[in-house]
């Protein structure tokens, strides 16, 4: 019975994102797709504010950050796709929050990319809940004490570009928008939380050590 339930959940997860099948599976070393996502009504965050390719292929010149004048420093970026109905995401979130608090004053940005609204009209149920009845991300995460910035992918645009078919789906990039680390799902096994914390902390330390020198004036 348990095996049937697990297979049902896997099938639901795959069919849930059937519309993303035109996306190419990303891999470490690939250029991270750009996005512009809302974090408050009428306010948007851009990946290119923090991380951008080094050379503009059209001009052959160095490509600067989108807000180069006010924010010229390249950052490492940690982004995780999640939804409030996703039980494995609830295992990842507390660890991400812990790592975020550890590095929040460093040159690394953390973003939670919410696809709850992008899936709200899906038929059927997931983990015993109807998609239309799952809680909204903002109040839900606030109640859980999560303080990382939430970005709302309400139309599933970034989800499709990153082919985030299994949640949680985590990506890390360096300051030049190159994917350096990826993780799909969250294992239900002893020691998984500690290993995850150790792995992403080690990658953040490596990326911070490779960032160009800060251009910000003291």
Q: What is the pLDDT of residues 68-98, one digit of tens each?
A: 889 999 999 999 999 999 999 999 999 999 9
d(CA 139, CA 98): 19
Q: Is residue 160 a part of any domain in this protein? A: yes
Adjacent-strand bridge partners of 45? 37
CATH number at residue 50: 3.40.30.10
* Domains identified in the chain, total number: 1
What is residue 150's predicted lDDT score, i.e. its pLDDT? 98
Residues 6+ apart with CB under 8 A from 107: 73, 74, 75, 76, 175, 208, 211, 214
Domain limits at 132?
26-210
- Report the predicted TM-score, pTM, of the whole model to 2 decimal places: 0.88
Q: Is residue 217 a part of any domain in this protein? A: no
Assess whether pLDDT exceeds 90 at residue 56: no
d(CA 35, CA 20): 16
Q: Is residue 184 a part of any domain in this protein? A: yes
């Amino acid at each position: 019975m348990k095996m049937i339930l697990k297979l049902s959940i896997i099938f639901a997860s795959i069919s849930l994102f059937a519309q993303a099948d035109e996306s190419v599976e990303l891999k470490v070393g690939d250029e991270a797709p750009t996005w512009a996502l809302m974090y408050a009504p009428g306010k948007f965050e851009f990946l290119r504010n923090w991380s951008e390719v080094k050379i503009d292929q059209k001009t052959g010149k160095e490509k600067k950050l989108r807000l180069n004048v006010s924010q010229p420093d390249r950052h490492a970026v940690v982004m995780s796709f999640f939804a409030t109905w996703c039980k494995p995401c609830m295992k990842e979130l507390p660890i991400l929050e812990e790592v975020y608090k550890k590095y929040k004053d460093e040159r690394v940005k953390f973003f939670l990319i919410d696809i709850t609204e992008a899936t709200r009209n899906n038929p059927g149920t997931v983990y015993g809940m109807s998609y239309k009845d799952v809680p909204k991300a903002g109040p839900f995460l606030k109640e859980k004490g999560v303080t990382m910035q939430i970005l709302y992918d309400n139309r599933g645009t970034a989800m499709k570009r990153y082919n985030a078919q299994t949640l949680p789906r985590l990506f890390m990039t360096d300051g030049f928008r190159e994917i350096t680390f990826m993780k799909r799902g969250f294992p239900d096994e002893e020691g998984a939380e500690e290993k995850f914390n150790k792995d992403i902390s080690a990658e953040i330390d490596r990326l911070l050590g490779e960032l160009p020198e800060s251009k910000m004036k003291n």
